[in-house]
Amino acid sequence: MVGEHVERGLVDRWRDILTVHARTLCELDRELHPHGLGASDFEVLDVLAAGGAGDGGPSFRVQEISERVHLSQSALSRLIGRLEKDGLVTRGMCTEDRRGVRVCVTPAGRELHSEVLPLQRAVLARMLSGGPRTPEG
């Protein structure tokens, strides 16, 4: 009986986490969409922008980015391809390992990141404040 109660509590907590995550992602997507970005797009730009200044600045291997944004390598590669097509990032060969790819934010990517950063942070503050939530979010 006690074990079942503890287990039920864990399942309920897990489902609460999933609910907050899903609602937060939806809200992020809604806020970022007018800027041509989704939540995952922003996360990649955020990782890259935090790394340093503009074109020719610090870059990250795709594997390093995937560890930070929690996307599969194939999903991340497609996302990076879209960001590159939009002129927000560049890709290049990794000098340490010719099989690897390095990604760097462009000045346009850094500018867009700076523009939408306050929106993303406001959504996080609103959604993760710990207050009661309505079914709408």
CB 32 within 8 A of CB 39: yes
Task: List the pLDDT tens digit at each of the 137 positions of the chain.
Answer: 668 888 999 999 999 999 999 999 999 999 999 999 999 999 999 999 987 544 455 788 888 899 899 898 889 999 999 999 999 999 987 666 666 788 999 999 999 999 999 999 999 999 998 654 444 44
Query: Which of 118, 137, 115 lies closest to 128, judged by CA?
Result: 137
CATH value at residue 75 = 1.10.10.10
* Calculated CA dihedral for residues 118, 120, 122, 124, nearest 10 degrees: -150
Query: Which of 136, 128, 82, 133 lies closest to 109, judged by CA?
Result: 82
Query: Which of 44, 62, 64 lies closest to 106, judged by CA?
Result: 44
Asked if the structure places residue 16 within a domain, the reply is yes
For residue 60, the enclosing domain spans 2-127
Asked if the structure places residue 92 within a domain, the reply is yes
Token couple for 62: 């795709």
Domain total in the chain: 1
- Supply the pTM of this predicted model: 0.82
Asked if the structure places residue 29 within a domain, the reply is yes
